[in-house]
Amino acid sequence: MTEFRYLGNSGLKISELIFGNWLTHGSQIENDAAIASVHAALDAGISSFDTADVYANTKAEAVLGEALRGQRRESLEIFTKVYWPTGPKGHNDSGLSRKHILESIDGSLSRLDTDYVDLYQAHRYDTETPLEETIQAFADVVSAGKALYIGVSEWSADQLRAGQELALQAGFRIISNQPQYSLLWRVIEGEVIPASEDLGISQIVWSPLAQGVLTGKYLPGQPVPAGSRATDEHGGARTIEKYLRDDLLEAVQRLQPIADDHGLTIAQLSLAWVLNNDNIAGAIIGASRPEQVTQNTKAFGVKLSADVLQAIDEVILPFAETDPAKTLENAPQQRPS
């Protein structure tokens, strides 16, 4: 059964599993399959949908808008993001300048075929724009009714603190951060999550299945499955390659008995583990086929005991990245072009 959680220190509730269309809509799969996957998410009780203007260079937003057409808007939570280059990638077509934010929100709303988004997110931190300018632009987006709430993505603890202080002065608050987080990527646990708890910020996490590695379908010593993300030349193969090591894949397979004890797949166990963190408001799942959505939603409401969490860590923690410095190390040092 679908479960909902408050997003940060706000009154907004979102579904704890969120349907996201990075690397799929507009690029990896055909529109009919993408739309069928969105409808499967709706049928499963998922009400929250995450996209970004940069996904498939704006095409993903348009596909999501088409897939949600005819749904009761008030029953949905639609999230999108701004920062990365879009369009012809001109000198002002990226970043978090006032110009780019105010122009980008209008483009996103048009493609999504909606008057507003529930959550508008800074897709990364912009080192070249004064933070005061960015925060004021977001405040104006909210005042204009084009976004109801503001979030960020992959900001460090210090950046979250500075952003929240300015946001409160501007009359709104940052309610979410969207970092990568999974059994294999835990860099937010040391600094970002403690800071977020102090600031009233929740996490909406991406790649909770480590680009599909935590489904268990990638086997040690075996070729990658045909049609999987590891074969996707549009970006999927690049994002997953760091996990395709036999020792790590063997460890993932050792999660199977723990999953079996709970009547779960490795993927469902991995999603349940993410959602057992109290600061996680939701985990973003993607799908190229409707049945993948249906399978993932079996993680709804699963509670894992302390003994089970310890057993999972004994198997997988030696292979997990936990260094808090990775948040800034992986961040862009200058505005992309």
End-to-end CA distance of the chain: 43
Select from 1.10.375.10, 1.20.1250.20, 3.40.50.170, 3.20.20.100 the CATH code of 4-329: 3.20.20.100
Q: Using one digit for the tens of pLDDT, what is the confidence trace for 208-225? A: 999 999 999 999 988 877
For residues 63 and 103, is the Cβ–Cβ distance under 8 A?
A: no
Read off the pLDDT band of 92 (50, 70, 90): very high
- What is the pLDDT, as a whole number, of residue 337? 82
DSSP symbols for 310-325? HHHHHHHGGG-B--TT
Active site residue 55: yes
Question: What is the phi/psi pair of residue 176, to 5°?
Answer: -150, 155
Given the residues 6, 55, 125, 218, select the one marked as catalytic.
55
**In this structure, what token pair is assigned to residue 294?**
């249906």
Q: What is residue 55's DSSP assignment?
A: G
Cα–Cα distance for residue pair 282/299, rounded to 1 Å: 12
pTM for the complete prediction?
0.94
Per-residue pLDDT, 99: 98
Looking at residue 226, its pLDDT comes to 64
Q: Using a pLDDT cut of 70, give the percent of the chain over it.
A: 93
Q: In the structure encoding, which two tokens stand for residue 24, read together?
A: 């799929």
Residue labelled with tokens 């399978």: 295
Confidence of residue 237 (pLDDT cuts 50, 70, 90): low
Angle between helices 98-112 and 131-143 (to 10 degrees): 40
Query: What are the domain boundaries of the chain?
Result: 4-329
**Which tens digits make up the pLDDT trace of 67-78?**
999 999 999 999
